[in-house]
Structures are given as structure tokens and as C-alpha cells.
Structure 1
Amino acid sequence: MNETIDTSQLPAGHPVSVYFQEKELITILTEELKLTDPASEYQKFYNIFNQLQAIERRFERKENQLFPFLEKRGWNGPSQGMWSFHDTLREQFRLLRKKIEAKEIEELDKDIQYLISGIFRLLLIEETTLFPNSLKILTEEDWTKVRAGEEEIGWMLPQVPPAFPNQEYIHPSKDFTKREHSFSLENTAHYDEGYMTVEQVNLLLKTMPLDLTYVDKNDKVIFYNRGEERVFPRSAGIIGREVKFCHPPRSVGTVLKILEEFKKGTKSESSFWINFKGRLIYIRYFAVRDAQKNYQGVIEMSQDITDIKNIEGEKRLLDWD
């Protein structure tokens, strides 16, 4: 049964209240877009279109925050159905942007009407089904967690909504609250966001198409990943070795200069690219700092970007057949 929501009964900053605030903005922007002539008012039309496309933040909050909590409570429908609706609208925005930027305005009126129609069909489903059911299914604690995660994604509103609940905001990176999970935490460790076993961490690092080496704050190599196809060879003998002895003499001065600036805090990243055995290799150094900004070492990352650099256009379909 379709229901309506009395938003005046929702606390300020409640995720559903914020969705309704965004609906008001969407209504204003779509009306402005319909009334703006792309031929004579091109820049104004383009600006309004850009503001409207920020609706993707709304999609991302639903997909990454609201839907997962609904799944935990046993409602999978939005994840399976509404996400596809989002992707259809994303594709319409993408195609429209190409036309607008190419100033192909002949059929823009019809295309815009089609886009707006799709947006309001989605808003109707949200208002009559998604949000009323979500308010019934999710607890106050759930909504607090939904809102905390939304802080990292953002909104399409010009100002950040009021805090919810009305208390000091804790950034997700500093939120160490223990939560119930649908998977086993046995033998896992907690990372910034999520849990993995040592085996899973090793598999992750081994599978990544990157050469990673971690040098600690004392300039000692303490880790490298064992990828299937490394750019530069590494062996276990490197562990515990001073980093200055791990590079050819001609590049040691550069490495030491990077470490010096990282330790002083004047720099945090350095990049190089070289031709190596007919391949283009991208080498990057990143300073590692703790929450108090104290230097804790450096990550060296090397990647073969030859094939990446040659990518053109788009590939949106799976071509395994």
C-alpha cells in the first residue's frame, strides 16, 4: 500500500528528511531547465544541468548506505530494482552531457523531458514505497549509522544538512564503534573500514597489479608484496635492509632527498615514469603519516601503465565471449 510521509515529524538532519529537501531542489532545477533555451542561454542551461546531475550523490547514498541497512533487515528489493533505475538515469545524463558539450541542441528538449520524467517516476517510488517502508524497517540506531556514512558521500544540497542526531559529529575514519556483521570476525583484524584475516590481506596485496614496498620511519624495508608479475625483482633478503642500499648508486641521492622532504613534512608525494624493457613504468612515493601527522615511513608503488595509457573511448560491456 502506498503511503505518504509527514516530514514535519522527522528530526532535522534525518536521512529521509534530507532526501525530501533534495526533492525540493530537484523540482526547482528541473523547472528551470525546462524554461531555459539551450540555444540562446547555453551557459545557463549547462550550469543548471550540472547542478541537476549532482542527483548522483543521492543515488550513491542510497546504494552505499540505505540499501545495505535494508538488506540487513531482510529487504533486498531496492538493491535489486532501484539500483538499475539509477543506472538508467546515469546513462541518460552521460549521453545528454555529450550532446550538450557538442552543442547538439536539436533534440535536447525531448531528451530533457524524457530525463525529467524518469527522475520524477523514481521520486514517486521513493516517496510512496521506499522511504515509508524504510522508516518502518530501520531502527533509530540504524538511521544514525546511515547518516554517519552519508557524511563521506555528500549531498546535492548547497549546505551540509544539520547533524543527526543532534550531537557532535564523529568522522567515519575516527568511529571505532563495534557493529554487528553478517560475516564471521574470527581471526580478523579491524582496519579503517572493514575486517580481514591475514590470509585475505595477503591475497589482496598479491592480487593488486602494483609493486608495493613499505619503508618504515627508520628507513628500513619492512614489507613488499609478492605479485605474480612484478615490475622490479624483489627477494626476502631485502626485508630489514636500509632503503639506500636497495637502489642503484645513480638514484640513491634522489631517494634520500625524497625521504628527507617527507620527514620534514614539506612534501608528501613524488612521481616518476621511465621506459623499462619496452614498457612505461609509473613510480610513485607516498609519505605515510599517522593521525597526529607524525612520519611513519614511505610507500613505494610501481605500476606498468603501458596498456592503461593506450586506453581511448569507453568500454562498458563484457567481451569474454
Structure 2
Amino acid sequence: LHYALIKVGTPALSFLVALDTRSDLFWLPCDCTNCARNFNFTDGSRFELETYSPSNSTTSKPPTRGCSTTLNVCSYQIINGNISSTGILVDDILHLGTESNPQDIVDVSITLGCAKNLSGSFLNTNGGINGVFGLGMDSISVPSILADKGVVANSFSMCFGSGEIGRIEFGDKGIRNKKQLPLIFNNHSKQQVINPMLFLRPTYNITVTKIGVGNNVTDLEFTANFDSSVAYTHITDPAYSFIVNNGGKAYCLAIVKSKSVNVIGREYSNRLLNCLLAFHHFNADFVSSTFDINNVEFFPENFMEGYRIVFDREEMVLGWK
């Protein structure tokens, strides 16, 4: 996962949230007793995690639409495999910054989930998260709300650095000479969202038209999803067999490490072999049951390293540079 340190509420509190392109709702741990309290980084340092409380924020209020008028509350439930987040929806201020120097602060009222109950890996103190920053295509997601309010264009970019440092920029439509592919509508989702105002929406899917392994190229067309929340690339047959059969022993990284493997969609290419081989170490039944893949291919965040990926929802294209 890639994380961002964001500020929410008044007074502003900082939260270390996971950037998730397949989630729509932005939610934070809220008045919960079993939430993760610390995040342990790989270098041994520890980051203390905050807990959001609507009663402690002077700008928090019930959502203005989509909720029960009789109960004056809007509940939500997100189920993702063996993990879940349940609570209520609230409106509060998200504090953003511009690229200008000195930086201007932009405060935007946004709807977020107040997660009162969490389960599964959300509670893991070594990798437990301080919330999920929903970047999906539904109207409840952060990019959609910012665009709907006229704050920025309906597009955003994520730059995945190789040194564990990245950047997310709202309103970014990329540069003119960027490469791009059309996004296609596909209603596969690994989440079940139980709420009248939240629907299963299309995710960021593209069509891959060719696969090249060294000098061997085949026209195996398939749909792939760009998912910043998945750690390993998932490729099913016949594409997977083609790569393994032409790329050496799938269980031995050292033997085939020098061989180049490319996945091509129009002019797009990227090194894929190490991701595939790392995935091959995992039990396929476990992965399928956890992510509910159903033969959908996933290109995860490590596949995007070294690229500035543009999710342009106005033009419905995925761009990169």
C-alpha cells in the first residue's frame, strides 16, 4: 500500500490513510476502542495513529443528502474479504494544499465514513491503517466530491517513486505527450458496500492487447484493473501460462531475473516478471477467496512504480509518463 498523511476536522488532526483506487468511501477510525494505535515502519520507527471523533470537531455535521430524515443518521458497512469497516457518514473539512510557494491551504467540506467498528487486518498494529482514502469512480469518492464542488478538474494523478516516496495530485490531467489508454466500464468489485447511497461502480479497467516475453509476442487480449491497494500482480491463464512457459522457472527469481517481460496495451509496456513470480509463491485458492478475483487481472501499486499515473475521469483515459 501507499499512504498519505492528511488533515481532517477543526482543530485539524493528521491521519495516515491508505490510498485505494478500488474503494469509493473515505473513512477514518472513529470513537472506537479496538482501533490500531500505532503504525510500525520497516525502519523500526513508530507512528502514533489518531482517532477521529465528530464531537471533537467543530466543523463536523450530518451529511446534507442521502441519509435517513427520521433517524438523522447515515450508516454504512464495507465488507472486503475477511475485513470490514462499519459506522456512520459525516461531513467535515478536508485540508488540502496547493503547489504554490508559499503553499495555499484549501479547505473542502467532504463526506467521510466514521468507522466505529473495524475487523481483520485493519486492526493489525504492524500494518493497521488509520483509514482508507477512497479514490474510486463513485460520486462518494474524494476525487468525485472535489470535482463536483468545482475545486479541481475530475482527474488525479499518483506518482509512485521507487524509494517508497510518492505524490498524489488532484485535478492533474497529465502532460500533452503522455501515453494513454481508454478506461472501460466493468462492474467487478472486491467490495460489498451496504448502504442506499453507495453503489458498486466501475473501477479503473483497461484492455491489454498483447503480451511480450523476450522476443515472443502473443495476441492475448484481456481486461486488467489498476489497483493501488493490491501488493502483487494477478494474471490468469492463458496469459500466465504464456509468460511462465516463455520466461523460465516461475519459482526461481534468480534464474530468470535478467529476462525481460513486457505487457503491452497499444504502446504501453512495463516490466512484469518479478511481480508475477512473487505472486506465484502465494496459494492461488487463498488469493482468489480473499480478493474475489473471478478471472479479473490486477496491476498493483508495485507495477506502477517509476510512473506518474493519471486517472482522467473526464476523458475516461488512463495516462502515464
TM-score, normalised via structure 2 length: 0.26
* Larger fraction in strand: 2
Based on CA coordinates, which of the two structures has the bigger radius of gyration?
1
* Larger fraction in helix: 1
TM-score, normalised via structure 1 length: 0.26
